Amino acid sequence: MTDEEIMEDRQKKYGPPKRCFETWAIMCEELNKYAKESGNINLPHLYALKMDLLKIVRSAWNPNTEDNYCDARNYISIAEGCVKKSANKIED
């Protein structure tokens, strides 16, 4: 596939890129504010959560793209692992 064909395919699956990333950016900024208020920021955890938000945005556009669900579950598991690894470092 050419780059153009790939972009067209992705737009069908995930929506208009600009709109998708604008929505994701707003959600990420709100997540940043919320995490900052907590005073409990674990950056790897936070970034894994942001990737999960991307999968949520994409799924809202096209709920029939199954890999969004699998990826979202995995990003939550990664986020959990980041918290557990952080806790283990403190205990060590």
Rounded average pLDDT over 16-32: 97
Calpha distance 38→32 (Å, rounded): 10
Q: What digits encode the pLDDT tens for the residues 45-84?
A: 999 999 999 999 999 999 999 999 999 999 999 999 999 9
Residue-range definition of the domain harbouring residue 61 = 3-91
List Cβ neighbours of 79 (8 Å cut-off, separation of 6 or more). Answer: 45, 48, 49, 52
Calpha distance 29→91 (Å, rounded): 31
pLDDT, residue 89, reads: 63
Amino acid making up residue 52: D
Is 53 in contact with 31 (CB distance < 8 Å)?
yes
Q: What digits encode the pLDDT tens for the residues 28-44?
A: 999 999 999 999 899 99
Helix (H, G, I), strand (E, B) or coil at 75: helix
Q: Give, in degrees to the nearest 5, the angle at Cα 89 between 41 and 81.
A: 65
Rounded average pLDDT over 18-32: 97
Q: Please provide the average confidence, as pLDDT, over all residues in the chain.
A: 93
Structural domains counted in the chain:
1
